[in-house]
Structure 1
Amino acid sequence: MPYYDTLEHLLEESKLANARLETFRESATSRFTQDGLSMDEADGVGEPVASAATLEYALPERDRDRFRKRRDRIERKCNAAHEQGVELRLRNLVDAFDLQPPHRDVLVVALLPDLDPGVTDAMTGLTDELSTSRPTVGLCADLFADSPAVFASAVRLLFDESPLVDADLVTLKRSDDPSASLLETDVAVDDRIRSYLLDSDGIDPTLQTHLERETRIQDQPLTIADADASLEDLLIAPACRADLEALPDPDGRGRRVYLHGPAGAGMHRAVEAVCESDRLLRADLRAVLAADALEAVVREARLLGLPLVLHHADQAVADADQSLEAIVHRVGDLETGLYVVGRESWTPSNRRDRTLDAIREFSRPTIAQRREFWADRADSLPADIDPERLASTFDLTQGQLEAALTTARTLAADGEPTVDDVRAGCRAQSSDALEDLAQHIEPDLSWDDIKLGAETRRQLETLEAHVTNRGRIYDDWGFRDRDKNAGVVALFKGLPGTGKTMAAEVLANEVGMDVYKIDLSSVVSKYIGETEENLEEIFQAAEQSNAILLFDEADSIFGDRAEVSDATDRYANVEVNYLLQRIEHYDGIIVLTTNYAQNIDTAFSRRITHTIRFEKPDAAIRRAIWGSIFPPSMPVEDIDTEWLADFEYSGGTIDKLAKHIAIYAAEADAETITMRHVVEALEQYKRDRNSRIQASEFEPYLEYLQGPTEREQKDRHQPTR
């Protein structure tokens, strides 16, 4: 008949241990501790007659057969319970920590005071120590000893690398009496082990609290997670999936695997899929090392019989100044499996006997894989969304893709996300690390908001098509094999105010991305090496931003490289070469602007995918700009756009003038903007720049001029006759 539960088994084990204490109390067998054998003498008896692992209770002849039958009965019931799937915690503990029968017996003896308060009086009598209610090292050894040599062997059950002590299954408390022998040390079952044996479920709350108290990590540092993922759920290549299915466990002592890649790339799901368990224990290695709790966490994994996942490994190692190899070695053999997860690659030195069984890298999903993700969820997306555009625009991991979809549904007013909701969800997953390094522009302009020449507009639309069809171009049609990355580099060249920055905003808005504007003139430093550091910081932050990088004043660094005549020239060229290499390996979208295209280095020109010229607007475009420059809510009366178009101003200047026109109207407390306010603003603009005010330019509106025209000024200076 099997045990029905773990407590039934534990109580029967405790009865057997109690019976041994009774026979010890009644036996005439010499009690070596009480006969005055000290710890030093126990060590000096000579070679132990047997290893501690093979010891048995030292029983009187009359009791041996009875005890053996009781032990056999317990073992039969344990085996029957195992066959019926009944969990027996003590048996689990023995298996998890490779305990031998005498270790188990000592553990049960140490647990007796916690199971039966009446045992405490008996303990006092057995140890002759009035101050203790727990078994001592000496008493535990006495239970196995029928000679000093055997006693010396039995003492080693609690010393000399005993698994009971090494795994903190028991605690040893020295006597307060400084003259007391080590044999008088109290033996108690560790609090966590006691609660486990008494059928407590879940993670040790004391360990959980300790980890949370010692660290500032917001997420719970130690959790039990369901392992319900499948490799089929992962957004990975078929070859990678097959590789994970074949992860080795060469010696059957539990896999040791290191998985690395960007956050959300699928490492945790892969562990769930291959760990051969329906649950696993996840521990943030940063918190574990900070709290000096690695051994406690490993013990917890053994107790719970769960695979252990140590994540944030590379960051934890850097913070704790420890090698990952040393940490893996400290974990030791973990039959349930050890999975270490980090972001950076790692190659162990293998100076130790066994460090890892496998290292697997997880890459960001390709554009084709991201397109597949969006296409598979077409039923939950707006009908007018294009999976190709989304996949080509937003470089997200699988975890980020799923979070983006969840965010989009949250943003949806009626539960049905729009294209803008989906794009906003994607942007929400992107890193904001560029916020402190560049000017963040949230674009809200469309093609209707910018007035450009036909050729410039056509080139910009081609650039948009390139950005939104990168999957088709580079993956489906094979250009990635040649170019290695799917980055897009565009150069916008033209005079100030011709719409370069505005066009970048329009492009970003059309494809759903944000813009980060970087002033290269502020990045370049006079100190050697600092420019490269600044650029590296920007590119590292940009890699997960899913934004357009807008480098303003590119000519400040991409000017023609000088012939090397001194150290300054040499380091200036190093800066250019560094940026060229970084751009070549960048997989995102870069737009560079320049007012002086002729200064751009020809070596860089070869790396530009699109070169778009922004001309000063002609009269027709200026007329269109003036016609749309004022916001719809602004009251405007009979603005003469035909006349205004004759002034050869750029779009940027016209925008500035429009604001000044509004200021003059507000100053006059006018209800509407009229040509009087327009003329006043134009006149002041020209005078601020020492430009001539010619009557012919203002002919229809001379009456609104506040100051003299150029002719009037000359007339004033003519001598009178």
Structure 2
Amino acid sequence: MDAPPRGFADHWEHLRAEFALLDHALREVARRTRPSLTDGRRPGPVEDDADADAEAGADAEEAEAEAHAGAEADADAADDPPGALAELRAALDQRVAATPASVRLPLARLVAAAGLTPWEVTLVVLCLGVELDGRYTRLCGLLQGDHAYSRPGTLLALDLLGGGLPERAAGRAALEPGGPLFAAGVLHLLQDPRGGPSHLLGLTDRVRTLLLGNPRGPERPWLRFMAPGRTPGDADEPSALRPVVEQLARAADGLMHDGAWAAGPAGTRLVACLHGAAHAELCDTAHRVASRLGTGLVVLDAGAVDRTVSTLADAVREGVLTARLEPALLLVLLPLSGAPGTPEAGERPDAGLDGTVRELAAVLDGSGWLTLVAAPHPVAPPAGTLTPWVNLTVPEADPGDVARRWSTELEAAGIAVDRADASSLASRFRVGPAGIARIVARASATARLLGRPADLPVVEAVARDGSGSVLGSTARRVRSAQTWDDLVLPTEQQRQLRELAGAVRSRGRVLSEWGFGARSPRGRGIAALFSGPPGTGKTLAAEIIASQLGLDLFAVDLAAAVSKYIGETEKNLSRIFAAAAGTNGLLFFDEADALFGKRSEVKDAHDRYANIEISYLLARIEAHDGVVVLATNLERHLDEAFLRRLAFSVKFPFPGAAERERIWRVQIPAGAPIDPDVDWALLASFPLSGGSIRGAVLHAAYQSAAASRPIGTVSLLAGLRRELEKVGRVAVPSDFGAHWAEIARGGIDEAASP
């Protein structure tokens, strides 16, 4: 009675057995094809037949002992009967099946995930062999008639397949660029080193790293793995989200065949496009579905793929293969771009979101099971797509649910917060449950590193650090430590600004606990307009509000957003709003009249497109769920429909003499040396805005430091003179009285200079 097959001890024993089997296959190829080495069928210089015989025979004999131990082969390979290779393959597969589940065999995982045939496994092992052993590179060159061909080509692959003309024809079709090995992300084609039309075969980076012992593959900035979350049936799962999660989980169960997630026919595939919420919330929904199924989630950020390094199609294939290997669900994050549409004239055919969808659909047509796609809006696949696509609306997270999740995570970490604190966090930081857990974990680790207890300020700081990267070059992050005391405004304007900050803090409670959210079908964000002359404190006020709320301020770069081409400004601004939807920050537009001007009478096509652009931007402001502050020097130039959509409108007046004196005083830090006899009244008598006063004080500080003396009246007046010159006003000596002589020298006593 035959003993049961012995399983493999580890991955490396399995690979040694596969290489031994490969040696048998290569010896059979050499035996069959040696007479044809001089018939001109293969390109390049021809090796001497005796050399080829000796090299191939020696290499095969060298592996004979290992072949016998690893694959239980006959000791005399030269006398192998027909079908012996198939028997050896069957014996090796039996050993794989007998290997305990606790022993991870990456090659066996790849075979199951990609559905590889024995011939395809041989090709994969040969491609790995040329990466590790020069013996295989020499054999490839000998068997292909040219040492330059150190990797297997299509003809050598067909020789390994064997069989007659029908089998070789089928094998050749499988080696086309769209063949199963390439569609599955296992192999890729390399150019002929001689510049000919043939191709060589190589392993993809993902498969190479897998077979070399790294189960997660190479580091990719656009690909990450999320481990399974809590067990199905989370008590804290939002009630509004539960139907979507259950629907996707049922769909996933229905797509499984033979109890597995292996690749199947088109009828067993589905692409579910999730939209209606921020990327963080869509990602959280996908993670919940994966956790319901007891698996992880592979997240591929299509917008972050560097196409100068890798094509999107290759990146998606790698994501699909990674998901199959885990196994896990795959979530593809589509770029945060504008409304769908065809590319503009002069753009590349694959430009924009539509081009991304076309590439994605082409790859997913050849993948199996369920793929989730996170998009800014419903997406329709291109005509002729085989895999069905469905659009599912994910409801926005209820602020009350998010606040409860903050409370749960913070209490579990030993961080005490009250109900108002949790509601404020939910209002200010738009992250899903998984993001909340990561923030709290990072905050605890940060506090331990600093040797202090974890508290709410540490949590807020960590939450701020994780925001803003998606805005890229369209906006710059501004952080300020200034407070309300640094802003000099009349009492009414101060009150309005504090009301704005209070509204942002409490909107979660108002919309969720008090029920106002159900009465607001449009965006739940807060938009404010700051209007007034230049230098009156509009930007400073926005910075202070962001600082007081624990948020970052993102100042939009209008030079990068505004375009002279029709439709381009709309696209750029749409990208900004879409990116800001998942960003924990305050979005600040300076000189907003350049973007939100009045709609004009339509006299030509340009007027019509300009009005459409303004209308679209007005709708985006209204639908935005975050905090937006717009500043303008010319409120009268703004469209009236836009003004009606604002929750707050604060007018910044030009400061009077009393306000100017306060501004002069607060601009000098407590640690700066100051002459006690500064004539504040004289300084305040000059009609300067707050911005100009700041410039004058900074100029005076530089000049005083250069003269090694405290900041005094003369140096401040000298800085004031420079600010007057900036606005085109000529300094009159009588305005400065007895100080003019020294001011004319720049405010520096040359004798006192070092």
If the length of structure 1 is used for normalisation, what is the TM-score? 0.63
What is the rounded CA distance, in whole Å, between the counterparts of 1:457 and 1:549 in structure 2?
A: 20
Counterpart selection for 1:440 from 460, 470, 477: 477
Aligned counterparts, 1:545-584, within 5 A: 545-584=583-622
Indicate if the aligned counterparts of 1:223 and 1:281 stay in contact, CA closer than 8 A: yes
Q: In the TM superposition, what are the counterparts of 1:368-387 in structure 2 within 5 Å?
A: 368-379=400-411, 380-381=414-415, 383=417, 386-387=421-422
Contact persistence 1:224–1:282 (CA under 8 A): yes
C-alpha displacement at 1:516, in angstroms? 1.8
Q: How many residues align?
A: 545
Question: Are 2:535 and 2:689, in contact at CA under 8 Å, matched by a contact in 1?
Answer: yes
1:650–1:382 Cα change, 3 Å: farther
Whole-Å separation in 2 of the counterparts to 1:700 and 1:116: 102
Residue matched to 2:703 = 664
Cα offsets for 1:422-452 (capped at 9, x unmatched): 2221122224132411232112211011111
Deviation at 1:659, TM superposition (A): 1.4
1:409: which partner in 2?
444
Change (3 A) 1:365 1:694: same
Asked if the contact 2:207/2:217 (under 8 Å) is kept, the reply is no
Equivalent in the alignment of 1:640: 679
Distance 2:561 2:385 in 1: 46
Aligned partner of 1:476 in structure 2 is 513
Structure 1 residue 605 displacement after superposition: 1.2
| 2:228 pairs with 1:208 | no
Distance 1:680 1:488, change over 3 A: same
Gaps of 5+ in 2: 9-65, 92-110, 123-156, 169-205, 260-267, 303-309, 336-352, 747-754
Distance (Å, rounded) in 1 between the aligned partners of 2:365 and 2:395: 24
Structure 1 residue 536 and structure 2 residue 574: aligned?
A: yes
Superposed counterparts of 1:93-104, under 5 Å: none
Partner of 2:238: 236
Residue 649 in structure 1 maps to residue 688 in structure 2: yes
What is the aligned partner in structure 1 of residue 648 from structure 2? 610
CA RMSD between the two structures: 4.9
Q: 1:673, CA displacement in angstroms? A: 1.8
Name the counterpart of 1:491.
Answer: 529
The range that moved more, 535-544 or 265-274, is 265-274
- Which letter maps to 1:230? P
**Match 2:314 to one of 290, 297, 300:** 290
- What residue number does 1:170 align with? 118
Work out whether 1:341 is the aligned partner of 2:379. Answer: no
- Seen in structure 2, the aligned counterparts of structure 1 residues 405 and 123 have a Cα distance that, compared at 3 Å, is same
Change (3 A) 1:205 1:657: closer
Cα distance in 1 for residues equivalent to 2:512 and 2:537: 33
| Aligned with 1:681 (options 719, 724, 732) | 719
Judged with a 3 Å threshold, the aligned counterparts in structure 2 of structure 1 residues 133 and 468 are, in CA distance, closer, same or farther, namely same
User: In the alignment, which residue of structure 1 is the partner of 2:20?
Assistant: none
Deviation at 1:619, TM superposition (A): 2.4
Change (3 A) 1:352 1:574: closer
Instruction: Mark the runs of 5 or more structure 1 residues left unpaired by the alignment.
Output: 10-111, 141-162, 186-203, 332-337, 709-721
Partner amino acid, structure 2, of 1:218: R
What pairs with 1:290-369 in structure 2 (closer than 5 Å)?
Answer: 290=314, 297=321, 308-312=328-332, 324=361, 327=364, 330-331=367-368, 338-344=369-375, 362-369=394-401
Distance change >3 Å, CA 468–CA 343, structure 1 → 2: same
Note the C-alpha offset of 1:390. Answer: 1.3
Report the alpha carbon displacement of residue 464 of structure 1 after superposing the two structures with TM. 0.8
Moved more, 484-493 or 385-394: 385-394
Give yes or no for contact 2:428–2:551 (8 Å, CA) kept in 1: yes
**TM-fit CA distance, 1:269:** 3.6
Alignment match of 1:619 (pick from 643, 648, 657): 657
Counterparts in 2 of 1:6-405, with a 5 A limit?
7=6, 119-121=73-75, 127=81, 134-135=85-86, 167-171=115-119, 208-209=210-211, 217-218=219-220, 229-232=231-234, 235-237=237-239, 240=242, 244=246, 247=250, 249=253, 253=257, 260=274, 262-263=279-280, 265-275=283-293, 290=314, 297=321, 308-312=328-332, 324=361, 327=364, 330-331=367-368, 338-344=369-375, 362-379=394-411, 380-381=414-415, 383=417, 386-405=421-440
Q: Aligned equivalents of 2:745 and 2:7: distance in 1?
A: 106
Instruction: State the TM-score, normalized to the length of structure 2.
Output: 0.61
Instruction: Tell me the CA shift for residue 650 of structure 1.
Output: 1.6
How much has 1:632 moved relative to structure 2? 2.1
Match for residue 504 of structure 1 among 520, 529, 542: 542
Measured in 2, the distance between the counterparts of 1:178 and 1:497 equals 78
Call closer, same or farther: CA 1:266–1:460 in 2, change over 3 Å: same
Range 459-468 or range 238-247, more displaced: 238-247
* Alignment check: 8 A CA contact 1:113 1:133 kept: no
Deviation at 1:488, TM superposition (A): 1.1
Range with bigger deviation, 638-647 or 544-553: 638-647
Q: Aligned pair in 2 of structure 1 residues 455, 370: CA closer, same or farther (>3 Å)?
A: same
For 1:673 and 1:538, how far apart are their aligned partners in 2? Answer: 43
- Report the 3-state secondary structure (helix = DSSP H, G, I; strand = E; otherwise coil) of the residue aligned with 2:651: strand
Judge conservation of contact 2:298–2:323 (CA < 8 Å) in 1.
no
Distance 1:314 1:624 in 2: 51
Closer, same or farther in 2 for the Cα pair 1:347/1:229, shift >3 Å? farther
% identity of equivalent residues? 26
User: Are 1:421 and 2:372 an aligned pair?
Assistant: no
Residue equivalent to 1:461: 498
CA contact under 8 A between 1:487 and 1:587: conserved in structure 2? Answer: yes
Query: Equivalent of 1:451, from 449, 463, 488?
Result: 488
Alpha-carbon distance in structure 2 between the residues aligned to 1:237 and 1:308: 25
Which structure has the greater CA radius of gyration? 1
8 Å Cα contact 1:266/1:362 also seen in 2: no
Residue number in structure 1 paired with 2:349: none
CA contact (8 A) 1:450 1:499 kept: yes
3-state SS in 2 of match to 1:232:
coil
Paired with 2:300 and 2:421, the residues of 1 have a C-alpha distance of: 38
Contact 2:228 2:297 in 1 (8 A): no
Once residues 252 and 530 of structure 1 are traced to their aligned partners in structure 2, the CA distance between those partners, rounded to angstroms, is: 44
| Mapped partners of 1:682, 1:660: distance in 2 | 8
- The answer (yes or no) to whether the contact 1:136–1:183 under 8 Å persists in 2 is no
Amino acid at match of 1:423: E
Residues 257 and 478 of structure 1: CA distance in aligned 2, closer, same or farther (over 3 Å): farther
The CA distance in 1 between the partners of 2:292 and 2:500, in whole Å, is: 44
